[in-house]
Chain A
Amino acid sequence: MLKIEKISAAYGKKQVIFDLSAELGKGRFTAILGRNGSGKSSLLSCIGGIKDYSGKILLGKREISAIPSRERAKMLSYLPQNLPITQFTVLETVTFGREPYVSFKLTEADREIIERSIEKCGISHLKNKKLTEISGGERQMAYLAMTLAQDADVIMLDEPTTYMDAPHARKFLDILKKSVDEGKSVVAVMHDLTQAVKYADDIILIDGGRLVFEGTKEKCLEEKAIETVMEVESHTLEDGTVVFI
């Protein structure tokens, strides 16, 4: 689905990604993990069309930067870590998700998708509230609903649950998992290793801008790749949950 071939990227003279290659599976939840400054967000920015890079990123068989922006928006969505607190209402924000599809006016089908996305995220009661009037967790949910309304095949998120409390984060990730079950591909940079291992199907581990591990969650746990790179210990609880300390 998404094939990264030897990409490199830099901020000015400081190179942050070095010849990184990876493949992200269709209909999979892929967690990108790594220490702070390892290049996780930069990698997502390259795929999202925000950051220039050398090398190739193929979406299907097409180089991603060559796909016209509106067409690409129907194939791939990207939610950055810092989400703006605007004066727009929740409904207006979610409606923005249909932008790649709307020529002049929203159709009935667009409206249905918007309503469904809002319902999925459980924020129907906040529809007419401005983003300035709701909590941080609710705001994240509003942006998730916008992403769902965008209905792209690949959903990319950069540390989406960083500012959320545990119940909001669980709900957020459950919704993403459900999208994967419905055939979407989710790629998320995650800082909570326990959450990542719980929800992800595949793991990509980056260290110092280089790929360290790529494969299924099971293989990652077996090889203790996370423990090595992140210098943490893992413990398996009675219910099978793996936690990292």
Chain B
Amino acid sequence: MKTKRILIFCSLGAVLFSLFLLSMRLGSVFFDTKSFFSALLGLDGYSTESVIIYTLRLPRTVAGLLAGAGLGVSGVLLQSVTDNKMASPGLIGVNSGAGFAVILALSLPFFPIKLIPLAAFLGAFLATLAIIAIAGRMGMTKNTVVLSGIAFSAILSAGISLLSLLDADVLVSYNAFSVGSLAGAELDGLLLPAILIISAIAAAIAAARRINLLALGAPIATSLGVNVKALRVACMLVASASAGAAVSVVGLLGFVGLMSPHIARALVGADARRLIPAAAIVGADLVLAADLCGRVIFAPGEMPVGVLMALLGAPFFLGILLKGGHRDA
């Protein structure tokens, strides 16, 4: 059993490494193997290939990796908190909060475009805080978390619709954000999201044993010494920070936070100590694979990763559901 799990983790890591290399190599401009490795290792000095690799492909690859990992971990945490396998970052207002903040920022004259990712992150995080506050007034049970999330997200979505109706130009800019894309990622802008996402993964792994107990329900978890309400709040905050950081990098990328935990659970089981790192790797694998497909299939143009994710992800996810994956604990 243990050997099998080690093998699964090695395979996931190998897939991620391969996708990382492929993502650096493939795109609208094709490199042969020799020139790719020469440019990658810096053997040719400053060349067109090395510029493409290091200024275009490396940032989008790192961004994809971070976003996938962040959304994957966020999904696991939220599915544990709500004991609902259909939960994803959107449930705690990440998408609607980030979306509302971005469209609001775009509507404001003179708002610096560079600060849009920060607005997205803050919007996501503040929305989660509001949902925690509302759910907290109703006992912070798994149901009140879900219901508060749905209700508050609906209010923010109405705000997004209203702002988009007021200014058609804003709607065009907002659409680019709402689709989810890795194009235009820059290494400079990835440092803060990277710190947040890596810290979130570390915090989630550190709390994994306690997160496991949430699956036993609040009464048993309480009996085993867990402060269930505090753990739920902590998980939601970490999930929001992680997904908010991911959204600030790629925009509203759907399905990753929902699918990654399901795939990871099928591979390594329900134990959060294995599930959290596995979902992070699976999430990164999915985003890199979708982005790669979008660049290779539609070269010399490209299809945004969000569209590909939905096109490929939705049928795949339905397949998992039909096979009974939704019955996982």
- Chain A nearest CB from B285 CB (Å) reads 22
A83 CA / B209 CA spacing, docked (Å):
19
- B84 to A: closest C-beta gap in Å: 13
The reply to whether A88 and B270 contact each other, CB–CB distance below 8 Å, is yes
Assess the B215–A69 pair: CB atoms within 8 A: no
Enumerate chain B interface residues (CB-CB to A < 8 A): 1, 209-210, 212-213, 215-220, 222-227, 265, 269-271, 327-329
Which chain A residue has the least Cβ–Cβ distance from B215? A86
Chain A residues with CB below 8 A from B219, complex form: 45, 48, 50, 78, 80
Known A-B contacts A86-B215, A87-B269; the reply to A78 vs B329 at CB < 8 A is no
Q: Mark A99-123, 1 if CB is under 8 A from B, else 0.
A: 1101000000000000000000000
Known: A83-B220, A86-B329, A99-B224. 15 other contacts (CB 8 A): A45-B219, A48-B219, A50-B222, A69-B225, A77-B223, A78-B220, A80-B219, A84-B220, A86-B270, A87-B265, A88-B271, A93-B216, A96-B220, A96-B224, A100-B224
Are A85 and B225 CB-contacts (below 8 A) given A50-B218, A99-B213?
Answer: no
Known: A80-B219, A96-B212. A73 touches B225 (CB 8 A): yes
Number of interface residues of A (CB under 8 A): 34
Minimum CB–CB distance from A169 to chain B (whole Å) comes to: 20
The chain A residue with its CB closest to the CB of B269 is A87
Identify the closest chain B residue to A131 (Cβ).
B329
The answer to whether A84 touches B225 (Cβ under 8 A) is no
A79, CB-defined interface residue at 8 Å: yes
Is there an interface contact between A87 and B328, defined as CB atoms closer than 8 Å? yes
Query: Bound complex: CA of A99 vs CA of B222, how far in Å?
Result: 11
Answer yes or no: A5 CB below 8 A from chain B CBs: no
Distance from A184 Cβ to chain B, minimum over Cβ atoms (Å): 15
Known contacts A99-B209, A132-B329, A86 near B216 by CB under 8 Å:
yes
Q: Are A48 and B222 in contact (CB under 8 A)?
A: yes
Question: In the complex, are the beta carbons of B329 and A69 less than 8 A apart?
Answer: no
Q: Check if A80 sits within 8 Å of B220, measured CB to CB.
A: yes
0/1 string, A141-177, CB within 8 A of B gives 1: 0010000001000000000000000000000000000
Contact of A78 among B210, B213, B223 (CB under 8 A): B223
Contacts of A191 in B (CB 8 A): none
Given A50-B218, A96-B213, A102-B209, A88-B329 contact (CB < 8 Å): yes
Cβ A85 vs Cβ B329 within 8 A: yes
Assembled-state Cα–Cα distance A70/B210 (Å): 12
Please report the C-alpha to C-alpha distance between residue A92 and residue B269 in the assembled complex, in whole angstroms.
Answer: 11
A6 part of interface (Cβ distance < 8 Å): no
CB of A84 within 8 A of CB of B329, answer: yes
A49 touches B222 (CB 8 A): yes
- A-B complex: 7 closest residue pairs judged by Cβ atoms: A73-B225, A86-B329, A87-B270, A87-B329, A70-B225, A78-B223, A100-B225
Asked if residues A84 and B217 are in contact (CB atoms below 8 Å), the reply is yes
In the complex, what residues of A have CB within 8 A of residue B222's CB?
48-50, 69, 78
Interface residue? A72 (CB, 8 A): yes
A48 and B223 contacting across the interface, CB-CB below 8 Å: yes
User: When chains A and B are docked, how far (Å) is the Cα of A29 from the Cα of B222?
Assistant: 23
Nearest Cβ distance between residue B81 and chain A, in whole angstroms?
Answer: 15
Q: Provide 20 A-B residue pairs closer than 8 Å at the C-beta atoms, listed in order of the A residue.
A: A48-B223, A69-B222, A69-B225, A69-B227, A70-B225, A73-B223, A77-B224, A78-B222, A80-B217, A83-B220, A84-B217, A84-B220, A87-B265, A87-B270, A87-B329, A88-B271, A97-B224, A99-B224, A100-B225, A128-B1
